[in-house]
Amino acid sequence: MAYVIGVGVTKFEKPLTREWDYPDMGRESGTQALADAGIRYDDVEAVVASYCYGEPTCGQRAAYELGLTGVPIFNTNNNCSSGSSALMLAKQLVASGTYNCVMALGFEKMERGLSEKYTEKISPVKRHMDHMVDIGAKPGLIKPQFNTMTSDVIKLFAYAAREYMEKNKNCQLNDFVNVAYKNRKQGEQNPSACFQKAPSKQKIRDRELCHPIYSGMAAPTADGGACVIVCNQAFIQKHALYARAVEIVAQHMVTDMPTSFGRSFIDLSGFSMAKRGADQCYRDSGLKPTDVDVLEVHDCFSCNELLMYEALGLTDDAVHAFNSGIWRRNNNGGSLYHIADKWVVNPSGGLESKGHPIGATGLAQCAELVMQLRGEAGKRQVDGAKVAMQHNFGIGGAAVVTLYKKPGFTHRSKL
């Protein structure tokens, strides 16, 4: 078994707006996580670093801000799922008995938009983007201010949204607007979020990127760092950390399958990968979707969050589930939207509010859920949260789904 005992997240910032670099992000988030766990960097036996925009061994340079202890440092890159991939490696290193305590450290100093640096080589997402055209995507649909990579990603999710609207006749443009608005309103309660003030629904659909995606429905790139410390039960006993240890109950990564390259834009954008990962987590844990209280899902675009309600097993009709939801005040004076009057999704504000510093995103999702299960999330606290689920996705591709449970919570299953 593996447990999260410490988390740290910097404030996420718009690219090019703050004078800092990735070592600063690593130091700030790492220091927070160590303090949260109540341990020293000397207690950490290995580090897994996560980033995409950087040279080899950036993980060493960032971790060296915390100390020079000679521990192994592994660098990982899995596009937008890099952070949760680092978390999974840390968890595996602990669960295997190789180490007692491992730090997952993610950071990113980004540009305004996605980009590829090694253009003389075959793009790792070229197969996906070529297939998008093969199954019917048309060229020239994106505004000219975007580079090719950003345009292709927007187009892929726009076509997935169109496919869903064709499949579910009840789905309208306003449904995507309302999901984005929900996230931006919840993000007002997150001091680490890039955007602290929700725009109006009219403003969300102010600028069309590629129908039915508008600028207010997209997660912006950002700068920032996040850190998670994972350990085993022996480490918890040694340091008396029972009250703060959140268990990673189940975790699975799924990469592309034949369905990704079928005739569906929805599957090309990760739906079937997320579904398999969620199904495997439910199977391993004995938990059901109805046992889950709070989720952080990869809302790179608000339409993707809507799709994930179905992929993660919450409902067979995401539009109905969302529209039958309700805003509720919590015990801390905040307000959260309960999907189908049951699940709170992206109480942090999601990627749409926080921003998306790729290497840090998955770890920031984990940090949010750990705070939720400890009851430490302030105005965005989900009252009575006991079980949490995380979904993080990267094109190219990898989807990582993780289940967590509250300290001391027991379930009638094998938990």
* Confidence grade of residue 415 (pLDDT, cut at 50, 70, 90): very low
Average pLDDT, the chain: 94
Q: How much is the pLDDT for 145?
A: 59
CA angle 373, 378, 382 (to 5 degrees): 45
pLDDT value at 174 more than 90:
yes
Say if 131 falls within a structural domain: no
* Confidence grade of residue 142 (pLDDT, cut at 50, 70, 90): low
Exposure on the CB side of residue 383, measured as CA atoms within 13 A: 12
Say if 120 falls within a structural domain: no
pTM of the predicted protein model: 0.96
Say if 214 falls within a structural domain: no
* Confidence grade of residue 141 (pLDDT, cut at 50, 70, 90): low
Q: What is the largest CA-CA distance in the chain?
A: 60
Say if 82 falls within a structural domain: yes
* Confidence grade of residue 48 (pLDDT, cut at 50, 70, 90): very high
Say if 163 falls within a structural domain: no
pLDDT value at 146 more than 80:
no
Measure the N-to-C terminal CA separation of the chain; round to a whole number of Å: 11
Segments forming the whole domain that contains residue 397: 2-112+220-404
Per-residue pLDDT reduced to its tens digit, 218-277: 999 999 999 999 999 999 999 999 989 999 999 999 999 999 999 999 999 999 999 999
Q: 252: closest CA among 397, 401, 392?
A: 401
Per-residue pLDDT reduced to its tens digit, 345-379: 999 999 999 999 999 999 999 999 999 999 999 99
pLDDT value at 414 more than 60:
no
Lowest-pLDDT choice from 76-80, 97-101, 150-154: 150-154
Number of structural domains (the chain) is 1
DSSP state for residue 137 in the 8-state scheme: P
pLDDT value at 151 more than 90:
no
Say if 213 falls within a structural domain: no
Say if 203 falls within a structural domain: no
How many CB atoms neighbour CB 20 within 10 A? 15
Rg (CA), the chain: 20
* Confidence grade of residue 412 (pLDDT, cut at 50, 70, 90): low
Please report, for the domain that includes residue 99, its CATH number. Answer: 3.40.47.10
- Burial environment of residue 324 by CB neighbours within 10 A (0 to 12, 13 to 18, 19 or more): middle
Q: How much is the pLDDT for 413?
A: 43
Per-residue pLDDT reduced to its tens digit, 94-131: 999 999 999 999 999 998 777 777 788 898 899 999 99
The whole-angstrom separation of Cα 321 and Cα 312 is 13
Q: 285: closest CA among 369, 403, 409, 391?
A: 403
